Amino acid sequence: MSVLLIDAGNSRLKWRWQGDSQQCDLADFAAQPWPDASHVLMASVRELPELEAELGARYACLHVIHRALPQFPDFVHCYEKPERLGVDRWLAMLGAARALPTASQWLVIDAGTALTVDLLTRHNNELHHQGGYIVPGLQLAQQALFLRTERVREFADEAPATDFSLANDTLGCVSAGVRRQHVALVAQLCQQYSHASCVITGGDGAWLADAAGCRYHADLVFEGMEELCAGSFFS
């Protein structure tokens, strides 16, 4: 059975159909060429009533998951309130275990609107979430500086940095600085959890994986959704 998979983040909408992935801004969902699918699984980290109504009208079999499932076979949560854990974090962990099945510990990093880190360990065939971190993503971290200072601005005659070398103008210092923070965070985690397989996903993940010398996986959230579909989710 082919299932249309949809990953709704805080900024972007991604979907995978028959192995092909596409994405758009959340605001542009109505203009997309939605495929003819019999089953649709959507994971969403925010309330999107219009999108859900549109998809509900179009597809007879639509499942939407907004939260990590508190009870899932062979998965042990560390959150006291697992329903508070972002569904994208949970799916990215399931996805990492599926994509790198021979590992026994994973550092799962999702570089999107926020950057999230989760440590996952396998004990006796059970996956144990050990905990994680949430920090602002590259764009959000820069916006915070532009918003709350007077003279740190996106000057039109300056260009954002594409790496993290020392910069010599305002926009360069901000954009290289937030990149350096992310690289330093990942490097420190890889050093501390040196036995873990580090895998990075998300819109800003390819750059970060390259800079930190880690593995990149284009979309671990979809990988986690494939794991749900492979189980008894639709039966």
Ligand X SMILES: Nc1ncnc2c1ncn2[C@@H]1O[C@H](COP(=O)(O)OP(=O)(O)OP(=O)(O)O)[C@@H](O)[C@H]1O
Q: Is residue 223 at the binding interface for K ion, with CB under 5 A as the rule?
A: no
Q: Is residue 86 at the binding interface for K ion, with CB under 5 A as the rule?
A: no
Residue type, 91: L
Q: Pick one of 92, 203, 217, 225: the residue that binds ligand X (CB under 6 A).
A: 203
Residue 95 assigned to a binding site: no
* Locus of tokens 């039109």: 156
* Residue 140 host element (H or E): helix 138-148
The 10 Å CB-count burial string (b at 16+, else e) for 171-180 is bbbbbbbbbb
Helices 170-192 and 205-212, axial angle in degrees (round to 10): 60
Concerning whether 88 is annotated as a catalytic residue, the answer is: yes
Question: With CB under 6 A as the contact rule, which of the stretches 31-39, 99-107, 135-143, 169-177 interacts with ligand X?
Answer: 135-143
Instruction: Determine how many CB atoms are found less than 10 A away from the CB of residue 232.
Output: 8
d(CA 27, CA 178): 26
Residue 85 contacts which entry, ligand PAU, K ion, ligand X, none (Cβ below 5-8 A, type-dependent): ligand PAU
88-127 mask for ligand PAU (x: CB under 6 A)? xx----------------------xxx-x-----------
d(CA 24, CA 121): 33
Q: Which residues, at least 6 apart from 24, have a Cβ–Cβ distance to it below 8 Å?
A: 12, 13, 31, 32
d(CA 142, CA 152): 10
4 to 33, contacts with ligand PAU by CB under 6 A? 9-10
72 to 91, contacts with ligand X by CB under 6 A? 88
Nearer to K ion, 46 or 153 (CB): 46
Q: What is the closest distance, in whole angstroms, from the C-beta atom of residue 116 to ligand PAU in the complex?
A: 5
Q: Pick one of 118, 204, 226, 227: the residue that binds ligand X (CB under 6 A).
A: 204
Q: Are 201 and 218 in contact (CB under 8 A)?
A: yes
Site residues (vs ligand X, CB under 6 A): 9-12, 45, 88, 112-114, 137-139, 202-204
Just list the catalytic residues. Answer: 88
Q: Which residues are annotated as a binding site for substrate?
A: 79, 86-89, 170
Site residues (vs ligand PAU, CB under 6 A): 9-10, 45, 84-86, 88-89, 112-114, 116, 134
